Copies of this chain bind each other. A is one copy, B any other.
Amino acid sequence: METTTFSALSEPNRLRIVELLLLGPLTVGEIAKRLDIRQPQASKHLKVLLESGLVEVEAIANRREYRLRPEPFRQLTTWLASYRDLWEERFDNLDIYLKRLQDQSNDRTSEPTPEES
C-alpha cells in the first residue's frame, strides 16, 4: 500500500475536498467557496490530491474541473480487505483461545491469587 494516499487524506481540508467531490466534479472556485478557504490554498491542496492520483482535472476554458479517480479507492479497498477478519472481530480459534488464557493470567496477577480448583 502506498503511503501517499494516506498522506494526501491526512490533511483535513483535503479530506473535505474528497468528500465534496464524491457528490460530483467541482471547479476550484466552487471548492474554495464551499470549504471557506482561499483560492490559492484550494489550488495547492488540489495539486497534492492530483499528484497522489486521488483526483484528475479537466480544463474547461479558464476553469479546471476536478473529479475523483476510482483507482486509489480500489487500492484502499483491497488493502482494507486484508484486515477484514480483524475488524469483523473474527479471529481464528487459536487466537481467541490464547487471548482468553492471557486474560485469565492478567486477572490472576492483579488479584490475591486464590488457587484455582
Q: Which residues of A contact B (CB under 8 A)?
A: 1, 3, 6-7, 9-12, 15, 19, 22, 24, 58, 68, 70-71, 73-74, 76-77, 80, 82-84, 86-89, 95, 102, 106
Contact = CB atoms under 8 A, between A and B. Distances in A.
Nearest to A11: B3
A68 B86 contact: yes
B74 A87 contact: yes
Contacts of A12: 3
**Secondary structure at chain A's binding surface: helix, strand, loop or mixed?**
helix
A110 B102 CA distance: 66
A67 to B, nearest CB: 9
A100 to B, nearest CB: 13
